[in-house]
């Protein structure tokens, strides 16, 4: 410690500050490395959580003293060794709940809750359960459901039916078919009392209405888009049936067909009551008859009249009473019908078919003559009868089928066989392509392929020329070492030494020859230069001296090489 203290005291304040900063940086770096190592071990527990679910999961992790981290996108990260365990614990607690609670909201009884709060909780629970049911579809990633219960009232005009809306978020690349949309509507309507499937609206997150609206007129009395789509679907269905029937009979390119459908989109109820006066039936019958055989009481009132032996009656008095009554009611027969008119019923159907003429050529070459043959009346009649059976022709309804024959434009502009050059066939010049070239000629004509081949050939030639030019510009390869060659061939040391001597002799002779030629060249250049510049009376020694000096200044390397050569020759 004393040495450390003396060392610390011997340092200046700058050195102390630098040492302290370095110590703090090392500690911070170590702490960051430890924290990074801890964070690297975290793995996703759940992803894409709603805020409500994320808050519940984080609260449970805090209570369990589990290290966690929340990242963007609703992802909760936990240590990798506890991912499976924590998922099971969260599943047992009913988490995640997809953002909305279900009927588990009523697991705890609250005696102080009001009736309004009870109704609100019931609606929340019902909407949450419907969301879970809709999200069970494979195409749906998220769902939101809103339900409005029916409003009851004593007055009919104040009553309101139940309504609901379902918003779905589809998975990437998925789509809901019309059958799935209808299924979602019926699922929601079956779970809510008094809710009709037509009152459920289904839309996606982009605001597109997926549920098909009712076939009704808009505010200005025009047909809605659903009506037009329904009519077009009927026309496409009829046209598909016609093509499937006439293609084998006439050929796919030998006719054209069109269908026009008139639909009745009015709907309602009709009541009909019919009376038949020729038929009557007894409805009620009443018959009453009263008869009395005893004599009526008569005489003078008093005791004498009531005695067992009354006094004789007066002449003209009645001896009994009789009454008969009969009442019969008859009514003519009647028929009462209640008819509900369907919406979108077929009112009228019109079908038109145009059949092409057959083309035949008479003659050959330039004298070929075009002959058009219309289809026979029997063929047209067969086509009409077949169409009547396919589309369900009803003359009482006003249906109409038109079958006519006219030559098509392609038939009128067809070329004679002699001048035509179909793909894969003989060309005008008499060239017959091989079998492997037919697919290529189907994609592009022969001149295009010839031009492409010529361009490719030019490119290959240019590349070959550049390659050969580069090879010729390179320096010649070094001569093979005879000693190395002999060693590779398995020669003896004496043979290797002889090979080395011969190689050295050859190299020395080549060098001497080169130096001699170089010397002669320099001498000739010097003499030529002096003959042009100096007078003829100058001495030869001076001329050579000046020429050698000038040549040395111009090319010192060549001069040095020349001197080395002279020294080698003298040696």
Q: How many Cα atoms within 13 Å fall on the side-chain side of residue 72?
A: 0
Q: Which position has the higher pLDDT, 80 or 235?
A: 235
Please report, rounded to a whole number, the percentage of residues in the chain having pLDDT higher than 70.
72
Q: Read off the pLDDT band of 6 (50, 70, 90).
A: confident
Strand-strand pairing, 163-170 and 200-204: parallel
Average pLDDT over residues 18-28: 83
The pLDDT of residue 221: 45
Question: Cα-atom radius of gyration of the chain, to the nearest Å?
Answer: 58
Encoded tokens for 457: 């050939």
Q: Read off the pLDDT band of 478 (50, 70, 90).
A: very low
Q: Are 512 and 565 in contact (CB under 8 A)?
A: yes
Strand-strand pairing, 321-341 and 268-292: antiparallel
Average pLDDT over residues 305-324: 61
Q: Read off the pLDDT band of 267 (50, 70, 90).
A: confident
Average pLDDT over residues 296-325: 62
Residue 282: pLDDT over 60: yes
- For 321-353, write each residue's pLDDT tens digit: 677 888 888 777 778 888 877 777 888 999 999
- CA 235, chain centre distance (Å): 27
Residue 384: pLDDT over 90: yes
Q: How many Cα atoms within 13 Å fall on the side-chain side of residue 427?
A: 12
Average pLDDT over residues 313-324: 61
Q: What is the dihedral of CA 290, 291, 294, 297, to 10 degrees?
A: 40
Q: Alpha carbon of 526 to those of 274, 379, 522, 536, 566: distances in Å?
A: 144, 111, 6, 14, 18
Average pLDDT over residues 39-68: 80
Strands (E) located in 47-178 = 69-71, 75-79, 140-148, 163-170
What is d(CA 449, CA 208) in angstroms, rounded to the nearest whole number? 50
Residues 6+ apart with CB under 8 A from 295: 313, 318, 319, 320
The pLDDT of residue 528: 66
Average pLDDT over residues 484-492: 46
What is d(CA 112, CA 108) in angstroms, rounded to the nearest whole number? 12
Angle subtended at Cα 36 by Cα 34 and Cα 42, rounded to the nearest 5 degrees: 115
Q: Are 250 and 244 in contact (CB under 8 A)?
A: no
The pLDDT of residue 511: 62
Q: Read off the pLDDT band of 411 (50, 70, 90).
A: confident
The pLDDT of residue 323: 77
Residue 507: pLDDT over 50: yes
Q: Which position has the higher pLDDT, 494 or 347?
A: 347
Residue 410: pLDDT over 50: yes
What is d(CA 241, CA 247) in angstroms, rounded to the nearest whole number? 10
The pLDDT of residue 401: 93
Residue 93: pLDDT over 50: yes
- What's the mean pLDDT when you consider all of the chain? 76
Angle subtended at Cα 263 by Cα 257 and Cα 267, rounded to the nearest 5 degrees: 165
- Most trustworthy range by pLDDT among 6-15, 118-127, 209-218: 118-127
Residue 482: pLDDT over 80: no
Residue 503: pLDDT over 80: no
Average pLDDT over residues 108-121: 81
Please report, rounded to a whole number, the percentage of residues in the chain having pLDDT higher than 90.
13
Residue 489: pLDDT over 50: no
Average pLDDT over residues 555-559: 77
Q: Read off the pLDDT band of 400 (50, 70, 90).
A: very high
- For 199-248, write each residue's pLDDT tens digit: 999 998 888 888 876 555 454 445 566 778 888 889 999 999 999 999 98
What is d(CA 295, CA 309) in angstroms, rounded to the nearest whole number? 15
The pLDDT of residue 571: 60
The pLDDT of residue 484: 47
Residue 529: pLDDT over 50: yes
Average pLDDT over residues 260-278: 81
Q: Are 458 and 466 in contact (CB under 8 A)?
A: no
Q: What phi and psi, each to the nearest 5 degrees, are found at residue 478?
A: -65, 150
Q: Which position has the higher pLDDT, 317 or 519?
A: 519
Please state whether the peptide bond connecting residue 96 to the residue before it is cis, i.e. omega within 30 degrees of 0.
yes
Residue 475: pLDDT over 80: no
User: What number of other Cβ atoms are within 10 A of residue 13's Cβ?
Assistant: 7
Residue 304: pLDDT over 70: no
Q: Which position has the higher pLDDT, 197 or 368?
A: 197
What is d(CA 136, CA 184) in angstroms, rounded to the nearest whole number? 11
The pLDDT of residue 86: 84
Range scoring the smallest mean pLDDT among 316-320, 372-376, 549-553: 316-320
User: What number of other Cβ atoms are within 10 A of residue 113's Cβ?
Assistant: 11
Query: Within the chain, what is the greatest distance between any pair of CA atoms?
Result: 224
The pLDDT of residue 418: 54
Encoded tokens for 406: 């006219």
Range scoring the smallest mean pLDDT among 12-16, 133-137, 189-193: 12-16
The secondary element (H helix, E strand) that includes residue 263 is strand 255-264
Residue 61: pLDDT over 80: yes
Residue 279: pLDDT over 60: yes
Q: Alpha carbon of 10 to those of 1, 5, 7, 486, 540: distances in Å?
A: 14, 9, 5, 74, 85
Q: Read off the pLDDT band of 519 (50, 70, 90).
A: low
Q: Read off the pLDDT band of 305 (50, 70, 90).
A: low
Q: Read off the pLDDT band of 388 (50, 70, 90).
A: very high
Q: Read off the pLDDT band of 306 (50, 70, 90).
A: low
Range scoring the smallest mean pLDDT among 193-197, 295-299, 482-486: 482-486
What is d(CA 76, CA 141) in angstroms, rounded to the nearest whole number? 19
What is d(CA 344, CA 346) in angstroms, rounded to the nearest whole number? 6
């Amino acid at each position: 410690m004393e040495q450390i203290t003396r060392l610390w005291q011997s340092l200046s304040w700058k050195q102390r500050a630098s040492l302290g900063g370095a110590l703090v940086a090392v500690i911070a770096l170590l702490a960051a490395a430890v924290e990074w190592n801890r964070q690297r071990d975290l793995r996703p527990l759940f992803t894409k959580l709603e805020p409500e679910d994320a808050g519940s999961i984080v609260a449970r992790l805090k209570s369990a003293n589990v290290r966690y981290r929340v990242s963007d996108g609703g992802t909760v990260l936990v240590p990798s060794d506890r991912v499976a365990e924590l998922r099971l614990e969260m599943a047992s607690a009913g988490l995640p709940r997809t953002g909305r609670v279900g009927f588990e909201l009523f697991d705890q009884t609250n005696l102080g809750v009001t009736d309004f709060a009870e109704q609100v909780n019931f609606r929340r629970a019902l909407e949450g359960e419907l969301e879970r049911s809709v999200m069970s579809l494979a195409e749906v990633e998220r769902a939101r459901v809103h339900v409005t219960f029916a409003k009851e009232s004593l007055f009919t005009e104040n009553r309101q039916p139940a309504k609901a809306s379902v918003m779905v978020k589809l998975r990437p690349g998925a789509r809901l078919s019309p059958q799935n949309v209808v299924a979602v509507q019926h699922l929601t309507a079956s779970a809510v009392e008094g809710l009709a499937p037509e009152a459920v609206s289904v839309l996606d997150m982009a605001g597109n209405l997926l549920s098909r609206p009712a076939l009704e007129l808009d505010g200005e009395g025009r047909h809605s888009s659903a009506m037009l789509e329904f009519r077009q679907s009927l026309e496409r269905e009829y046209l598909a049936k016609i093509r499937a029937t006439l293609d084998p009979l006439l050929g796919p390119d030998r006719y054209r067909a069109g269908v026009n459908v008139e639909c009745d989109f009015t709907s309602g109820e009709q009541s009909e009551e019919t009376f038949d006066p020729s038929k009557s039936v007894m409805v009620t019958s009443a018959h009453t008859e009263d008869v009395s055989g005893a004599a009526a009481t008569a005489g003078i009132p008093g005791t004498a009249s009531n005695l067992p032996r009354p006094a004789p009656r007066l002449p003209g008095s009645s001896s009994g009473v009789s009454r008969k009554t009969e009442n019969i009611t008859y009514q003519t027969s009647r028929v009462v019908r209640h008819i509900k008119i369907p919406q979108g019923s077929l009112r009228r159907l019109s079908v038109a078919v145009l059949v092409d003429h057959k083309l035949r050529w008479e003659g050959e070459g330039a004298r070929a003559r075009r002959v058009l043959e219309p289809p026979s009346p029997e063929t047209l009649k067969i086509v009409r009868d077949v169409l009547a059976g396919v589309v369900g022709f009803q003359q009482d309804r006003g249906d109409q089928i038109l079958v006519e024959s006219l030559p098509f434009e392609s038939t009128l502009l067809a070329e004679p066989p002699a001048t035509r050059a179909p793909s894969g066939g003989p060309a005008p010049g008499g060239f017959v392509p091989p079998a492997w070239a037919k697919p290529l000629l189907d994609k592009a004509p022969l001149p295009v392929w010839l031009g492409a081949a010529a361009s490719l050939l030019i490119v290959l030639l240019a590349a070959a020329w550049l390659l050969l030019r580069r090879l010729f510009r390179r320096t010649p390869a070094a001569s093979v070492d005879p000693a190395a060659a002999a060693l590779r061939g398995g020669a003896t040391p004496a043979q290797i030494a002889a090979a080395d001597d011969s190689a050295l002799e050859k190299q020395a002779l080549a060098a001497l020859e080169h130096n001699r030629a170089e010397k002669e060249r320099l001498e000739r250049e010097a003499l030529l230069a002096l003959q042009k510049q100096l007078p003829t009376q100058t001495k030869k020694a001076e001329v050579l001296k000046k020429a050698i000096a000038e040549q040395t200044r111009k090319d010192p390397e060549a001069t040095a090489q020349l001197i080395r050569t002279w020294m080698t020759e003298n040696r």
